[in-house]
Amino acid sequence: MTDPISFPSATPRFSLPLLFAGQAQKEFSVNEAHALCDALLHAACEGEATAPPAEPADGETWIVGSGATGDWAGEDGRIAARQSGNWLFVEPLDGMRLFDRATGQVLLYRGGWQRPAAPAAPSGGVVTDAEARAAIAELISALQDAGVLPPS
């Protein structure tokens, strides 16, 4: 017979609370887990800020900027998700992607939030090829429209 599996109190990646046999008030653990899943599945944020908005709506998600104040003090770099009138904070993990509604870009977490840099349009040079420059400018524009590169 195999040994029973012993679970910790939370999942390893996002600290979703786990239930225990005979646990009283299971709804608190289940509701917290559902709220975190709601914030993290197909994650999108309103933008980055150092202070919570004056009148946040449930469902809003923000990246907490450096030097955060108010309810976000001490939560720098984390994801703040508004659920049931409270802020839940999640530590981002390497490889996590988040859509930033403010910039229209997909951000990647790699030890910090990475944003693509806008390339400069070609200029200068001894030989000017107008068609090549126009083609490069169109590629840059298409990548900006797709949210891969920031708008210039």
Based on the domain organization, do 91 and 145 belong to the same domain? Answer: no
pLDDT class of 67 with cuts at 50, 70, 90: very high
* Residue 2 vs residue 62, higher pLDDT: 62
pLDDT above 80 (res 147) = no
Instruction: Based on the fold, state whether residues 103 and 121 are members of the same structural domain.
Output: no
Question: Which residues form the domain of 51?
Answer: 42-108
Mean of all residue pLDDT scores within the chain? 84
Confidence category of residue 26, pLDDT binned at 50, 70, 90: confident
Same domain for 48 and 94, yes or no, is yes
In a domain, 58, yes or no: yes
Whether residues 95 and 123 fall in one domain: no
Q: What are 83-106's pLDDT values in tens digits?
A: 888 999 999 989 889 999 998 888
Write down the pLDDT at residue 6: 64
Whole-number pLDDT of residue 87: 94
Q: pLDDT band for position 64 (50/70/90)?
A: very high
Residue 10 is assigned to a structural domain of this protein: no
Question: For position 2, what pLDDT does the model report?
Answer: 64
- Same domain (yes/no): 80, 47: yes
Number of domains in the chain: 2
Three-class secondary structure assignment of the chain = CCCCCCCCCECCCCCCECCCCCCCCHHHHHHHHHHHHHHHCCCEECCEECCCCCCCCCCCEEEECCCCCHHHCCCCCCEEEEECCEEEEECCCCCCEEEECCCCEEEEECCCEECCCCCCCCCCCCCCCHHHHHHHHHHHHHHHHCCCCCCC
Q: Nearest 5 degrees, angle CA 101-CA 52-CA 87?
A: 95
Indicate if the pLDDT at residue 78 is higher than 80. Answer: yes
Within-domain flag for 97: yes
